[in-house]
Amino acid sequence: MAVIDGKVLLTHLVSMEHLSEAEVLGLVSRGLSLKNSGAYLPLNQQSFVTNLFFENSTRTHKSFEVAEKKLGLDVIDFNADTSSVNKGETLYDTVLTMNALGVEVCVIRHSEVDYYKELIESPTITASIVNGGDGSGQHPSQSLLDLMTIYEEFGTFEGLKICIAGDLTHSRVAKSNMHILKRLGAQLYFSGPAEWHSIEFESYGDYVAIDDIIEELDVLMLLRVQHERHGKGEGFSKEAYHSAYGLTQERYDKLKSSAILMHPAPVNRDVEIADHLVESSKSRIVAQMTNGVYVRMAILEAILAGRRELQ
Ligand code: CP
């Protein structure tokens, strides 16, 4: 991985912790330039990519697909339910097969944390791996689109007061963002149910009650309550969660006029955020989705350039 003449070169993208600040800022800047200029040239040589999604997804899957098509890549369709996964094929063997067919980039979402390690360490697999989310581990393309959205608004990360609020334990978005936001100079806070906060967050920012910090924030980053990752009996009623931890109209009114609110989506309406605030003036939730296309174009460009120039 490298930045050469302002151009980011990657071999894989699996964790935000593997990226330098220069690489992150380079990808954010390229995403913004692709969005604002519209001046992107489709690649002029055939490159096959595939999207291997073993967990549900709307945004990540479809925005990678749009990004791939805008770049002129050949997208190989894959559906886990109709593939040989149902005959016992392992993830490793699915990727080994795609690699053998000539696929250069595999975008993968899988429930197993760190699933990508055996793929990037394999002596046989040369395809680049882009992590579209590994369980409660990392979600680097979501983090990059979040950073692009913040940078688009404020032009810096230095000194911004950012609160990541909600289901911290199960959130790959929180874990991807906390490392990089701290490295880029933001002042981080965490909020939400105490049972979903743990020691792993302590070195990145203070744990606070949302009502004690909301008036000072530049960015309120809400997290989805991840019912699918909860144990039996874990969780709250919709009303109890919303009233204690969610963004109500009363809390929204306390945000600074310059503050923005974000959420990776899908949103549990009236849980993390009141239904009518999802598209409110301080919300950047829709902008995050749009930015996802452009930052994913920047990621794919960096991977394809890295494959040609780093090997
Ligand atoms: N934010 C996000 O990862 O959404 P999807 O699960 O729909 O991809």
What are 173-217's pLDDT values in tens digits? Answer: 999 999 999 999 999 999 999 999 999 999 999 999 999 999 999
Report the chain's mean pLDDT, rounded to a whole number. 95
Query: Which protein residue's CA is at the shortest distance from atom 5 of ligand 1?
Result: 57
- What are the backbone dihedrals phi and psi of residue 309, each rounded to the nearest 5 degrees, phi first? -105, -20
The rounded distance, in Å, linking the Cα atoms of 197 and 218 is 22
**Dihedral angle of Cα 202, 267, 220, 235, to the nearest 10 degrees:** -40
pLDDT value at position 100? Answer: 98
Question: Angle at the Cα of 217 (from 212 to 218), degrees rounded to 5?
Answer: 175
223 lines ligand 1 (CB under 6 A): no
The rounded distance, in Å, linking the Cα atoms of 295 and 29 is 9
Question: Angle at the Cα of 145 (from 129 to 46), degrees rounded to 5?
Answer: 45
- Read off the pLDDT of each residue in 98-125 and give the average, rounded to a whole number: 98
Taking CA atoms, 216 is separated from 149, 220, 258, in Å, by 19, 10, 11
pLDDT value at position 149? Answer: 98
Q: Look at residue 42 and tell me whether its pLDDT is greater than 80.
A: no
131 lines ligand 1 (CB under 6 A): no
* Residue of 139, 161, 188 whose CA lies nearest to 260: 161
Structure tokens belonging to residue 191: 């909020």
Q: What percentage of the chain has pLDDT greater than the value 70? A: 99
Q: Where would I find the beta strands (DSSP E) of the chain?
A: 2-4, 7-9, 48-53, 74-76, 103-110, 128-134, 161-165, 187-191, 205-207, 219-222, 260-262
> What's the pLDDT tens digit per position in 293-308?
999 999 999 999 999 8
Q: How far is the CA of 33 from the centre of ligand 1 (A)?
A: 23
CA quadruple 56, 193, 222, 21: dihedral positive or negative?
negative
- Read off the pLDDT of each residue in 85-89 and give the average, rounded to a whole number: 95
Residues written for the chain: 311
35 lines ligand 1 (CB under 6 A): no
CB 282 within 8 A of CB 247: no
Q: How far is the CA of 266 from the centre of ligand 1 (A)?
A: 6
* Residue of 181, 180, 207, 176 whose CA lies nearest to 192: 207
Query: Among the atoms of ligand 1, which is closest to the Cα of residue 292?
Result: 1
243 lines ligand 1 (CB under 6 A): no
Beta bridge partners of 50: 76, 106
CB 59 within 8 A of CB 86: no
pLDDT value at position 311? Answer: 67
DSSP class of residue 209?
-
The rounded distance, in Å, linking the Cα atoms of 306 and 298 is 12
Q: How far is the CA of 58 from the centre of ligand 1 (A)?
A: 6
pLDDT value at position 5? Answer: 73
